[in-house]
Amino acid sequence: LLWTAPELVAGSVYPGVVSSLKGDVYSFGIILEEIVLRAGPFHHYTPAMTNKEIVTRVCARESPPFRPVVGLGEVGTAGGAAAELLELAARCWADAADDRPSFDTINANYIKGYCDNLMDDLLRRMEQYANNLESLVEEKTEQLSLEKKRSEELLYQVLPRPVAEQLMAGEVVQPESFECVTVYFSDIVGFTELCAASTPMQVVDLLNDLYSTFDRIIGFYDVYKVETIGDAYMVVSGLPERNGDLHAREICLMALAVVEAVRTFVVRHRPTHRLEVRVGVHSGPVCAGVVGVKMPHYCLFGDTVNTASRMESTGHPLRIHLSENTRALLDQWGTFVVERRGEVELKGRGRMLTHWLLHCSEPEALPMAQSPQPAPQYPILFPAIPQSTMTIHTPYLVVEPPILAA
């Protein structure tokens, strides 16, 4: 009954009438006041009066009529369009029904103008939202660019850059044959016994320190790290971008640097333990391609990979075991000192002539005049070894010692 016109509640003026247009205008005024002030009907009185008491006073035809309180303060704080609506509400709940405006008058003089104000306000809100959205889109775009860059860098670490770019472009990476590349294998001598005497976390720290050292070294050469399996470290040169006959040179220079770094490597949990690695190198044809979808992996296939692995397993600690194919490629440079080892029985290959790579005798390792490849510059230098009557030389390199984590 709080929304019902007093004449309809009392029933004295229009007996038997339970509704009327003017009564609806009164109800509209009460509801309009609720919407503008966001409060219930007669909210100023409800804490102290019951609904029955309020309806009784409304129907008592007091002078002035008992109606919701709309003070100047409330109208002022409500602002422009809201103040006009509160004024309209006061007219709608006039005591005399004939003093109330009709809905046609309300629509013509108030609602239409208010809708214009509403549209202006809506347009302002949309403009502000668009500006905020533009800033938000710019911020999210920048974040997306950073995340994309991080993802690309991570992909470049997992796959060769040309292959990664093909995958990001949505292209299918077709398997490719390479006429001649050089494959490097190395593993830790006595790794099983070392693991048995160490905790799993110590083994993880050891491999992380060692492979971090290797990774810093190979960054100076035109090589690609294929994978690490346990203590095995596999590197290749000559793919996916061909580099002529430089692949043998790049791998051998890298191998000399790796062996020298291992000589000074310190195992954190066993500082007195002398770490040793075996290294095997072989050159020949391979086939390479991407295997897998969820976790794509760039893999090498062919007898060259198996032979390089056998060269490593039949080698000696802290020595670089070369196949005859690799030695023949090194001859064109005239700067590598190689010692003939002789024929060695390789599993699945029979007997093969192999050699030991001792050192590189010139600082820049210049190629022969007939070689078409340019001479790259290396940050790790190989000074000339002084003349000696000894037939076996120790590799002589300048390599930064590994940085041990705290």
Q: Which domain holds residue 311?
A: 176-360
Q: What is the pLDDT of residue 389?
A: 35
Task: Say yes or no: 194 and 96 in one domain.
Answer: no
Task: Say yes or no: 180 and 92 in one domain.
Answer: no
Q: What is the pLDDT of residue 402?
A: 40
Residues linked to residue 230 through DSSP beta bridges, in sequence order: none
**Angle at the Cα of 323 (from 346 to 325), degrees rounded to 5?**
125
Q: What is the pLDDT of residue 167?
A: 75
Task: Say yes or no: 196 and 336 in one domain.
Answer: yes
Q: Is residue 148 part of a domain?
A: no
Q: Is residue 286 part of a domain?
A: yes
Q: What is the pLDDT of residue 243?
A: 87
Q: What is the pLDDT of residue 286?
A: 92
Could you give the C-alpha distances from 368 to 123, 220, 221, 324, 381, in angstroms and in order?
77, 22, 20, 20, 19
Task: Say yes or no: 189 and 314 in one domain.
Answer: yes
Could you give the C-alpha distances from 17 to 8, 57, 157, 282, in angstroms and in order?
7, 21, 86, 108
Which of 66, 101, 136 finishes a domain?
A: 101
Which of 78, 101, 124 finishes a domain?
A: 101
Q: What is the pLDDT of residue 182?
A: 94
In eight-state DSSP terms, residue 99 is G
Strand pairing report for 277-291 and 320-323:
parallel
Tell me if residue 79 falls in helix, strand or coil: coil
Task: Say yes or no: 92 and 190 in one domain.
Answer: no
Q: Is residue 327 part of a domain?
A: yes
- Each residue's pLDDT expressed in tens, for the chain with a length of 406 residues: 788 888 887 654 445 556 788 888 888 888 888 888 888 888 878 778 888 888 888 888 788 888 888 765 555 444 556 777 788 888 888 888 888 888 888 777 766 555 556 556 666 667 777 778 878 888 888 888 888 888 877 777 777 777 777 777 777 777 889 999 999 999 999 898 999 988 999 999 999 999 999 989 988 898 988 888 888 999 999 988 888 889 999 999 999 999 999 998 988 888 888 999 999 999 999 998 888 777 778 888 989 999 999 999 999 999 999 999 999 999 888 888 899 988 888 887 788 999 999 888 755 443 333 334 344 444 443 433 333 333 333 333 333 444 434 3
Task: Say yes or no: 87 and 180 in one domain.
Answer: no
Task: At 368, give phi and psi (nearest 5°).
Answer: -65, 160
Task: Say yes or no: 86 and 222 in one domain.
Answer: no
Q: Is residue 315 part of a domain?
A: yes
Name residues whose C-beta falls within 8 Å of residue 225's C-beta, 6 or more positions apart in sequence.
214, 215, 218, 233, 234, 235
Task: Say yes or no: 203 and 339 in one domain.
Answer: yes
Encoded amino acid at 66, one letter: F
Q: What is the pLDDT of residue 135?
A: 81
DSSP symbols for 249-260: HHHHHHHHHHHH
Encoded amino acid at 373, one letter: Q
Task: Say yes or no: 264 and 356 in one domain.
Answer: yes
Residues linked to residue 339 through DSSP beta bridges, in sequence order: 356
Could you give the C-alpha distances from 105 to 84, 88, 108, 112, 188, in angstroms and in order?
14, 11, 5, 10, 96
Task: Say yes or no: 188 and 72 in one domain.
Answer: no
Closest alpha carbon to 340 in 365, 367, 322? 322
Task: Say yes or no: 189 and 97 in one domain.
Answer: no
Q: Is residue 388 part of a domain?
A: no
Which of 70, 101, 132 finishes a domain?
A: 101
Q: Is residue 203 part of a domain?
A: yes
Q: Is residue 266 part of a domain?
A: yes
List the CATH number of the domain containing 246.
3.30.70.1230
Task: Say yes or no: 72 and 195 in one domain.
Answer: no
Number of domains the chain contains = 2
Q: Is residue 119 part of a domain?
A: no
